Structure 1
Amino acid sequence: MMINSTSAVRPMMKKLLVVCSVLVFCFSLYAESEKELIKKLPPPHRVWLSEEVVYIISSVEKEVFLQLESDRERDTFISAFWKQRNPNRNLPENEFKKEHYRRLAYVNNWFGKDSPAPGWRTDQGRIYITLGEAHSIERFESDNDLVPTVVWFYQGMAAKGLPDSFNVVFFKKDGIGEYELYSPVKFGPQALMRNFEGDATSYEAAYYALMDIQPQLAAVSLSLITGEPMGVNPSIASELLIREKIPETPQRNIKNIYASNFLKFKGQVEIDYADNFMESSSQLNVVLHPSGHYFIHYLIEPKRLSFEQYKDKYYTTLEISGNITDPSGKMLTQISRRIPLELSENQMRMVKDKLFSFQDMIPVIPGSYRLTIFLKNLTTKEFTSLEKDFVVPAREKLAISTLLLANRKAAAPSSVVIKPFIFDGSHLLPSPRNDFLAADNLELFFQLHGLSEDLIQAGFLEISLFRRGEKVFTKERLLRDLGSLPDVLETLPLKGQSPAYYNLKVSLLDQKKSEIATENADFYITPQPSLPRPWVVSVPTAVGDFSVFLNELGRQYIQSGDLDKARPLLESAFRQNPDSVRFGGDYCQLLLQKKEFAKVKALALPQVKEKSRFEFALPLGHACQGLKEFDDAIVFYADFITHFGANINVFNQIGECYFQLGNAAEALKAWEKSLELNPKQPRIREKVDGLKKTAK
């Protein structure tokens, strides 16, 4: 049996050796690659990365820094690096940075004198840069029985994930050279004595021998951690302390998301903002509007919102920009808002300790998408981001929508405005963290889609709370008693529930109470007496301006290539608001794509002739050109250029109209003007060359 067992293990061992060899090879390739990247850095940035911050930079930060492509990007990243470590951004000087460079100067001045390496490369230099000045230092450098040894004592570092009090020991191995970091496991007490004649493998014998020479040093020879219960074997916890915990201390409280986002957004966010990324929480819900169109309701809560004060007012301006894209990355729509904020001193006092929440809603046509939002504070050059994938269903099938959990419900401010997170006459305040107080009411909103009339009359809704898998609350409703379907808004008092993590489950039941659809959400009841709640900024839309949303949906259908679905939306938007130049222009563009030139002319001509809205001169020119009314087209194209300036495409169309009229000279003039604006037009260049040859 033993032979069989061994033969079975050998192939596994061979495979393990092969895997290990591959891993070692891959790691050596990565290390070599990193070394080459560092070598290619400009000298100041190479010194910064390899010498100045080598002990405090995280692996993520280092990886990002090595992928940056310009000195400006690197300098901006360095600025962000120090900002992340700044304990108080309100002070003019970064105290962390100041202290770090003080430590660096100190170690280069005082350590490394017995070594060709600079002080920062020594073990003492590394520990000093990482932990700072010791609380006390004991030196054992003049005892003939001991090798020179120094003990640094630290305390009060529990907040950094270290023992409350501990020692770091340095010694001169064999009594000569530079001080090295002492490890109880690697070296043992025997390494601290010059002439230990006992069993070199016995920690116990060495410990008692050292006790006879210097009890104080013997006390730290097996364990570096004050008060650790010990026998006569070296402390594994001490080994973890010096090999892992101390080296990780500078990175422990650094959130590397800023570095990842610096790289991720460096092409999308201006460089002035790149080192000012703020963490944020966010939420997105897809909701069917009573109009029959789906909207996404989203919120983003940045970690902070800064203002500038001028006299007794506080000012800032928010810019919200972004897009919605499909899975292939194709743009469905772009988002752009600019919101100036002005607060009085009294308003500032009311909100200064609160979170801030920006909320918005956007209509979206059916499909699978990704929402990307950048929220920028134009005053302080800070930004944060939101990225959420979502699906808008193409048709209503039996389903429960995503559950929306809110900690506050208020009566909607007005029935004449449309605002995000207003449902069934109530304005909800969701928390993207789903955190609640035990005294809160949990306001639950969701929608039931695809219900048959039979199910509405005979079905049930069950709402249950679970704590650690145990049901602690349940509520049942008849579907026919829910008067605002598909909307469901229920209040669940949390009073009496203990602080813990919970799961909320909504079940749709048929007349036999068989489960036919479910949806879940997790939330948390905190033991804290209070939670920070936000003040909210959103931009309301008047109910009478619903045409804005219809036009947006029509534009999205055009972008997706579905002109038939776009048409009634754009037409309705324009009919509801015939004074909107944008709506009229979008509707004209749709009709042009469908080659309905007469309709475009009928719509656009009165806008130009009677209302002097020369924005319509361009689609009017296209319409006349499509109708082969080339003389009129030239006039309207010229009107457009007169009012809005030179335009390459318009010059090209004027040239085409003259060409169709047989006026080669004027066609040549128009196309040559176009080429002056943009010489890289092979098709137009070919036309010009052809006319010039014909003229000869």
Structure 2
Amino acid sequence: RFSVIVKNEVSKEFTTLEKDIIIPEDDSTLKMSSLVLGYKLDHVPSKANKLAPFKIDLDQIYHQPKKIFHPQDKLFLVYQILGLTFDLEKRGKLKFEFIKGDEQFLSLTKKVNEYRDRFNFIEVFSLQSFPPDYYRIQVTLLDDDHEVLSEEERFEITSASIFPRPWVRSKTLSPPDDPVYSFILGRQLFSKGEIDKARVKFETAYHKRPDSLDYALGLARAYFALKNYAKTKQILLSFKNLDEIPYQVYLLLGKSHQALGEFDQAVSFYNEAISHFGINIYLLNSLGECYYR
């Protein structure tokens, strides 16, 4: 479920939006995505391995919630078809119908095998012949002229001489194989209490980037929660000579040594934590337990 809260910091008014997101598990099931109607398309080969909203392969699509176009614009139609069989790729057709009011305004058909990409489909339409009005575009997948799939979307052609487009800012994400995603999943699983599943994700991230203190700390927390104190030490000791070490590293090293009965080493790390971050009741209690043993 995708949830968004938008708040006006001045008036304190707010609104929320929640929507279920479906990620198909089985690509073999034939289905068509909803249609995205864009007013601009940029070819961005420099970001080929990056992830960004509404980026299809090497093309970045720009669109807005109110699907309004000028007659001078081009309409960039983007959609996906999952589960296309060999037969449908060979003999299937895509029919594009523009409906103005209740009447067909424009219709054209294109063979599926005319497209290089048989998963991501992009079609461009000039709107110069479209008078201002409300329209529907319907895309239908045909097999021997029989309808197999169909999706439609509404849009408007405006007569306004000036129609501002929104400012667009999107954060480009790392490629899908980047270890950051395993790390994020590991943190989520850890928060849910699924420690062993979290360990697997943390290990994947750490082995791909063993020089990352964040990944090492995540994995060490999972090992410690699973009472694997030796591995907790092994992971974190390689970072003990860094110039800036987080409090959690000293704490986990101290707790791991203490759990293994290595009290002198535990005291050393607790004292390091105190010298860098100040004293607190937990460190005092831990030191007292070590001296008592």
Task: Please indicate the TM-score interval, normalised by the length of the shorter structure.
Answer: 0.7 to 0.9
Contact residue 614 and residue 640 of structure 1 kept, 8 A = no
Q: Deviations over 1:415-451 (max 9, x none)?
A: 3654433222122211121111122111122223344
Match of 2:39 among 389, 403, 407: 407
- Find the counterpart in structure 2 of residue 525 from structure 1: 157
Instruction: Give secondary structure in 2 for the equivalent of 1:405.
Output: strand
Aligned-partner residue type, residue 663 of structure 1? Y
In structure 2, the CA distance between the partners of 1:648 and 1:410, relative to structure 1 (3 Å rule), is farther
> How far apart, CA to CA, are the structure 2 residues paired with 1:375 and 1:545?
37
Q: In structure 1, what is the equivalent of residue 232 of structure 2?
A: 600
Q: 1:430 aligns with which of 60, 63, 83?
A: 63
Kept in 1, the 8 Å contact 2:99–2:137? The answer is yes
Local SS of the residue matching 1:636: helix
| Contact 2:72 2:127 (C-alpha < 8 Å) held by counterparts | yes
Residue 606 of structure 1, CA deviation:
0.8
Q: Choose which of 117, 134, 146 in structure 2 pairs with 1:484.
A: 117
User: Aligned partners of 1:523 and 1:517: how far apart in 2?
Assistant: 21
Correspondence for 2:19: 389
User: Root-mean-square deviation (CA), in Å?
Assistant: 3.7
TM-score by length of 2: 0.77
Q: Give 1 or 2: higher helix fraction.
A: 1
Q: In the alignment, which residue of structure 2 is the partner of 1:614?
A: 245
Determine the structure 2 residue equivalent to 1:448: 81
3-state SS of 1:642 partner: helix
* Paired amino acid for 2:130: Q
Listed as ranges, the matches of 1:70-85 within 5 Å are none
Distance 1:391 1:620 in 2: 41
Equivalent residue for 1:506, pick from 136, 139, 145: 139
Residues 412 and 422, structure 1, Cα contact 8 Å, conserved in 2: no
Residue of structure 2 in register with 1:580 after alignment = 212
Contact 2:135 2:156 in 1 (8 A): yes
Q: Percent identity?
A: 28
Cα distance change on mapping 1:590 and 1:479 into 2, 3 Å: farther
Distance 2:230 2:45 in 1: 46
Matched, 1:663 2:260: no
Q: Highest Rg: 1 or 2?
A: 1
* Helix, strand or coil at the partner of 2:242: coil
Question: Structure 1 residues 374, 542: closer, same or farther in 2, change over 3 A?
Answer: farther
State the Cα deviation string for residues 375-426 of structure 1 (Å, max 9, x = none).
87xxx99998763424142613543233222111122272365443322212
1:485 positional shift: 4.3
Report the residue type matching 2:188 in the other structure: Q
For the structure 1 residues 439 and 618, does the alpha-carbon distance in structure 2 shift closer, same or farther, using more than 3 Å as the test?
same
> CA shift at 1:648, angstroms?
5.5
Which residue is 2:53 aligned to?
420
Partner SS, residue 391 of structure 1: coil
In 2, the alpha carbon distance for the partners of 1:394 and 1:516 equals 19
**TM-score for the superposition, normalised by structure 1:** 0.36
Q: What is the number of equivalent residue pairs in this alignment?
A: 288
Letter in 1 for 2:70: L
After TM superposition, the runs of 4+ consecutive aligned structure 1 residues lying more than 6 A away are 380-386
> Superposed, which structure 2 residues align to 1:343-358 within 5 Å?
none
CA contact (8 A) 1:607 1:613 kept: no
Aligned-partner residue type, residue 117 of structure 2: S
Q: Secondary structure at the match of 2:66?
A: coil
Question: 1:532 aligns to what SS in structure 2?
Answer: coil
Q: Give the SS at the match of 1:534.
A: coil
Q: Tell me which amino acid in the other structure corresponds to 1:611.
A: L
CA distance, structure 1, for counterparts of residue 210 and residue 133 of structure 2:
56
Superimposed CA distance per residue, residues 309-367 of structure 1 (whole angstroms, 9 cap, x where no aligned partner): xxxxxxxxxxxxxxxxxxxxxxxxxxxxxxxxxxxxxxxxxxxxxxxxxxxxxxxxxxx
Shift of 1:455: 4.5
Change (3 A) 1:513 1:623: farther
> Unaligned 5+ residue runs, structure 2?
none
**Pairwise mapping of residues 43-62 of structure 1 onto structure 2 (< 5 A)?**
none
Measured against aligned partners, the alpha-carbon deviations of 1:617-655 in whole angstroms (never above 9, x if no partner) come to: 233334445545454344334433432344565556x26
Partner of 1:635: 268
* Pair 628,504 (structure 1): closer, same or farther in 2 beyond 3 Å: farther
Indicate if the aligned counterparts of 2:92 and 2:112 stay in contact, CA closer than 8 A: yes
Q: For residues 548 and 385 of structure 1, do their structure 2 counterparts lie closer, same or farther at Cα, with a shift above 3 Å needed?
A: farther
| CA offsets 1:516-540 (integer angstroms, 9 cap, x no match) | 4433322111122231013333444
CA distances 1:554-612 after superposition (whole Å, capped 9, x unpaired) = 3334345555654454334334443433232223233334444333222111111x435
Q: 1:628 to 1:463 in 2, by over 3 A?
A: farther
Contact 2:100–2:134, Cα closer than 8 Å, also in 1 = yes
How far, CA to CA, are the matches of 2:166 and 2:111 in structure 1? 35
Structure 2 matches for 1:88-487, cutoff 5 A? Answer: 368-372=1-5, 387-393=17-23, 395-396=25-26, 397-412=29-44, 414-415=46-47, 417-453=50-86, 455-487=88-120
- How much has 1:548 moved relative to structure 2? 3.5
Deviations along 1:97-124, whole A, 9 cap, x unmatched?
xxxxxxxxxxxxxxxxxxxxxxxxxxxx
Question: CA 1:413–1:632 in 2, change beyond 3 Å: closer, same or farther?
Answer: same
| C-alpha distance in structure 2 between counterparts of 1:500 and 1:579, whole Å | 59
